[in-house]
Amino acid sequence: MDTIHIRGGSALFGETRIQGSKNAVLPVMAAALLIRDVSTLENCPQISDVRHMLALLESIGCRVRHKGHTLTIDARNISEDTMSGENVTGMRSSITLLGAMLGRVGEVTMAYPGGCVIGERPIDMHLDALRRMGVAVYEKEGCFTARARCLEGTVISLPFSSVGVTENVLLAAVMARGVTVLQNAAREPEIVTLCEFLREAGAVIEGIGGPVLIIQGGHELHGICFRIPADRIVAGTYLMSVLGAGGNIFLEDAPVSQMRAVLRTAQEIGAQIHISREGLNVIAGGYRAPVPCLKTEVYPGFPTDMQSPLMAVLACVPGTSMIEETIFENRFRIVDQLRRMGACIELRGTKQAVITGVDSLLGAQVTAQELRGGAALVIAGCMAPGETVITNRHFIERGYEDICRDYQNLGANIRIG
């Protein structure tokens, strides 16, 4: 049925463990391609994006095993350099395989990723950065071929700190001849995880966690066993739920050091936060304050992936809040769905949303249109008395291993349909 059914309006009480990070595991899986050996990844989330990435790796000759939360990738033999079909076009992060394939075999043919054509969600920065390393790109009928006789280390300055471009340059640079200096690199925690994986496997990278990465290419990489950190966006989603519905929850393993901007915002709204070595305790209820002006920003700012979950909460915070989206266009598609549940949200152009808190949302039939917007509808469903039915559950399953199990642990009345 591809639906989620929620009977909301009750506060949340309980505890749940936070799964491994989607945005960390996907580039690390791509990096495993660079290693002519067996890599073992622990704490991998069982989500559809991981299954698609595995299918892609298999299609080019990797031998993979996914048992529980452990993934083994044997990349000793790569047989193909062409990637197409649903697994590429359905998943934006398949673009990370571009840098990995260039690093490993020097050539790759791909369909444009993420189901978008150039112009809508472009890959121009990826291609420009790789061209500087000696890559030639040929485009034809929705596909492109990238080829490098020899990847050359160089100085690259990104016009914007793109997460995906930073990952691609890193993957190509560890295999390139000479030193690559990447300026204005993204500093998201997932970049740090990728650098740590590569470094443990034998790569030489300096400046990890900062805006300038210096990569000495050409070191032989070896197979390692590596643990994927917990997912900061999943933890943030559940945190927002208790802020919306009220209650007292414990999020085991929540990566609190990566969540500072989200924790700060939650406290401003009225959450009580207690951090321990085991995780994060959030208590909410009573007085809540609006957020007069919140901007999404690159890390360490407030993450764009948390924007829709925050909007669901603000829908019932008394007063007027304003959110400005600065990273992605078209990330306000949830607004129509929240309005169906009674929210009062006004859009100013494509970048600003003004939210006037209402007393309560009401259960309704709504549609998930993308991953984080879908998760935000689950939050709204927990907040709203009556029944909420969310269609297109598969979007949510791209990034949440079992969202109903987790919310049941937190005491919600929720089930798949």
- Which C-beta is closer to ligand UD1: that of 74 or that of 188? 188
Q: To the nearest whole angstrom, how small is the minimum distance from the Cβ of residue 46 to ligand UD1?
A: 17
φ, ψ of residue 207 in degrees (nearest 5):
85, 15
* Binding flags for ligand UD1, 232-251, as an x/- string (CB under 6 A): --------------------
- Member of 160, 347, 348, 415 binding ligand UD1 (CB under 6 A): 160
Kindly list the distances between the CA atom of residue 349 and the CA atoms of 325, 335, 346, 378, in Å, as whole numbers in the listed order. Answer: 11, 13, 10, 26
Q: To the nearest whole angstrom, how small is the minimum distance from the Cβ of residue 318 to ligand UD1?
A: 29
Q: Which residues pair with residue 17 across a beta bridge?
A: 252
- Which C-beta is closer to ligand UD1: that of 12 or that of 30? 30
Select the span of 69-77, 104-112, 124-132, 390-398 touching ligand UD1 (CB under 6 A). Answer: 124-132
Q: What are 35's two structure tokens? A: 């290693």
* Binding flags for ligand UD1, 286-325, as an x/- string (CB under 6 A): -----------------xxx--------------------
Select the span of 158-166, 174-182, 382-390, 405-413 touching ligand UD1 (CB under 6 A). Answer: 158-166
Helix (H) or strand (E) holding 90, with range, is: none
Separation of alpha carbons 170 and 323, rounded Å: 33
Task: Decide if 226 contacts 194 (C-beta within 8 A).
Answer: no
| Annotated catalytic residue 195 | no
Residue 60: count of CB within 10 angstroms of its CB? 21
Q: What are 157's two structure tokens? A: 């300055």
Give residues with Cβ within 8 angstroms of 156, minimum separation 6. 129, 132, 133, 169, 180, 181, 182, 183
Q: Which residues of 326-349 are buried (b: 16+ CB within 10 A; e: fewer)?
A: ebeeebbebbebbebbbbebeeee
C-alpha R_g of the chain: 21
Q: To the nearest whole angstrom, how small is the minimum distance from the Cβ of residue 298 to ligand UD1?
A: 7
Q: To the nearest whole angstrom, how small is the minimum distance from the Cβ of residue 165 to ligand UD1?
A: 6
- Member of 14, 105, 328, 342 binding ligand UD1 (CB under 6 A): 328
Contacts to ligand UD1 from residues 80-99, by CB under 6 A? 92-93
- Member of 23, 43, 180, 388 binding ligand UD1 (CB under 6 A): 23
* Amino acid at residue number 153: G
Helix (H) or strand (E) holding 265, with range, is: helix 260-269
Per CB under 6 A, 51 contacts ligand UD1: no
Q: Which residues does the annotation mark as catalytic?
A: 116
Q: Which positions lie near ligand UD1, rule CB under 6 A? A: 23, 26, 92-93, 121-126, 160, 162-165, 188, 190, 303-305, 327-328
